[in-house]
A and B are shown apart, each in its own frame.
Chain A
Amino acid sequence: MKINRRNFTLTGGALTLGFLLGDGVISLTPAEAKAQNLPFHRLTKNQASLIDILGDAIVPGAKAAGLSHYIDHQLSVRHQDNLLILRYLRVNPPFDGFYSASLQAFEEAIQQRYHKEPSDLTEVEISDFITIMMQKNPEFWSLPGHEAPPAPFFYFVLRSDAIDVTYSTMEAFDSLDIPYMAHLEPAHTWEVSPK
């Protein structure tokens, strides 16, 4: 059979993941997982919150698109099934440590600089902070005993993750007025390895 976009049935969402829920696996988009407030498996609630705060400030819409659930899901699977952009960027798996160290550095730098929690930052404050972190390590970024990846690198990675989850779906293409034109639609469940 010849395969092309004309004879493959279009089936809906373009970023459907298999999320563990209780003893089973359900297929949802990261946005649906976010909306249903599914539990995290690798991230703590605080880490997920930090991802959403920073990710959404960098790429508006990333939080609602399910950024934290997307990253949590990808951290849960085998390396060869992990589709985070980090796999291109010379970071050795597992990637959990990269995110946890970076998020801790982000939280501590905010607390030291602004004397408040990241969730309490104003738009101007977080924008100023991002402007610094994309260029160099902000003050208090990597404290002794808490060495973290360079802030500009973490910014680049989280920005890429956020663009992935926000702009890779068929709905997002449609919002940009780009025809998706799939040959094979990526709608199958991404298996989650048993813990």
Chain B
Amino acid sequence: MNYAEKTDVVIVGSGAAGSLMAAKLAESGKKVIILEAGPERTLKDLTSSQIHARRLKWSGDLVMENGAQPIGNGFNSGYGTGGAALHHYAVWPRLHAEDFKIRSLHGRHLDWPISYDDLRPYYDRIQQEVGISGDSQAEVWRPDGADYPLPPVPAFQQSEIIAEGFKKLGKSLSPLPLALNSREYMDRPGCLWDGWCDAGCPTKALANPLAVYLPKAKKHDCQIIHDATVTRVLTEQNGKKTIGVTYRIKDGIEITLMAKMVILAAFAIQTPRLLLASAEGGLANRSGLLGSYIMSHAAALVYGLFEEETEPYMGPTGGQMLNQDSYDHKDKRPQGFGSYQWMIAQAVKPNDLLGFGGSNPGIFGAKLTEFMQRAAQHFGGMTACVEDLPQRENRVSLSSEKDKFGLPLASVTHTSHKDSLALWQGAKQEGMEIFKAAKAEQVWTGPLGPMHLMGGTIMGQDAETSVTNSYGQCHDIDNLFIAGPGLFPTSGGVNPTFTVHALTLRSSEYILKNWSSLT
């Protein structure tokens, strides 16, 4: 056993939550070490290729996926510096007030232990720090909050054409709020609108961890150790306090890193896996809910070919326009229960899962050649981000199979709630009607695609019904925190990364304010 010098804080994972937490704690004088299981990545690794971009996705320990609608870990998780946020599309809407109080308002599922009003100031501060491009006035559905610091993304031909369908059906539209610079902001350049977000943005126009928070953390002497797989969270004998972690480096050598505080930000699968493997019955698992309530938004994919040229290769990968008409009043949908939003006019490339070549797999041979030529100039698409209702039986557990270090692999079971599936069906139907109203020559839809990972270490009011409190502090261990989308008790119908940032900022201030008593 090798011992490293004791540190104030060890953070497991360098993604959206880990990098922000590291920056805030390091800026306040704490000695912070990040342990990242994947390899080091720099901006120069972010080559503009849908094939090369696959390197950014998960290639760590196998994750066994089960259930009727598997969560798609291979596509949704990241691997290496920046985690999943390195390839994220920077679509940053806020959760709505209703998302926090579903049980109180509708008598089903779960409440968050905080309200929108509790989180609002953190959303406002993060958007100022990071920079979000958007039009808050045009977002008629948006909960109260400060105006965006940057003007909205420009509308390219694709969004103008699809917008006609929304208008004809009397639906609202706004620019999509994006953590992507519409002009230079905070020493980061404006976007070039060439649709390579998914491959990782090397220009720093998109707010990924390499562009925003990791440089701040490093500036204050935060150290990142790559290829470091944490195998156990260590506690005092009575189990009341964590004292650090053990991790293994590439050659298998095990190192013990003692720390005054441990923060797990290893995403929704690996964080519960690590806690489950750290003690008999799982660490910080008095509730028995460790690993439960795993969620993944259902993507409703609608595609079309239009007579006009659409320039489908221009713009951000996440889309250009937003519609949230089917968001509030979760019980008022024509079918199903929950919320969804449309992200409209994504920039697409010919290949990859979300490329136009893969959108219609029934076409092959000479017809595919014709289709590729036509789609390159006339394709349009939009995606509904459909709420995944939380269910206890959707969970991360430990597999009987183990990794090369003897740590049990994660097994994840996920089957969508019937009301979520109905909502997804309804969204697809609506999307097809919108495209027909926009005079698409052809309209088709894709299969249910899992999008984003949330839950597994949910926050709540007490130790009987949740793993952590609203700050991500484990109920059972004062100096053990969890950060990231794993804390979400419900998924809402919006992309999670903005909320991850707001929650993490709130947690970091709680930690700093209570440092003495926590450690």
Name A's B-contacting residues (CB within 8 A). Answer: 2-5, 14-15, 57-61, 79-83, 85, 87-90, 92, 127, 130, 134, 155-156, 159-160, 163-164, 167-168, 172-173, 176-186, 188
Contact = CB atoms under 8 A, between A and B. Distances in A.
Given A57-B365, A183-B203, A5 B74 contact: no
A188 B44 CA distance: 11
Interface of B: 39, 43-44, 46-52, 54-55, 57, 59, 62, 65, 70, 72, 74-75, 79, 189, 192, 194-196, 201-204, 313, 349-353, 355, 357-358, 361-362, 364-366, 368-369, 372-373, 376-377
A31 to B, nearest CB: 14
3 cross-chain pairs, A with B, having the tightest CB-CB distances, nearest first: A181-B194, A186-B49, A176-B376
A59 B353 CA distance: 16
Given A80-B79, A177-B376, A183-B46, 10 more contacts: A60-B366, A79-B59, A88-B54, A163-B355, A164-B51, A168-B49, A176-B350, A181-B194, A182-B196, A184-B47
Contact of A176 (B72, B203, B373): B373
B350 A88 contact: no
B399 to A, nearest CB: 12
Contacts of A184: 44, 46-48, 202
A3 B350 contact: no
26 contacts: A2-B204, A3-B202, A5-B192, A5-B194, A15-B49, A15-B51, A57-B364, A58-B368, A81-B55, A85-B54, A87-B54, A160-B352, A160-B353, A164-B51, A167-B350, A167-B357, A178-B350, A179-B313, A182-B49, A183-B46, A183-B48, A183-B203, A184-B44, A184-B46, A184-B47, A186-B52
B350 A168 contact: yes
B61 to A, nearest CB: 11
A92 B403 CA distance: 13
Of A60, A79, A88, A89, the most chain B CB neighbours within 10 A belong to A88
A166 to B, nearest CB: 8
A80 B39 contact: yes
Contacts of B46: 183-184
A116 to B, nearest CB: 20
A183 B202 CA distance: 7
Contacts of A155: 361
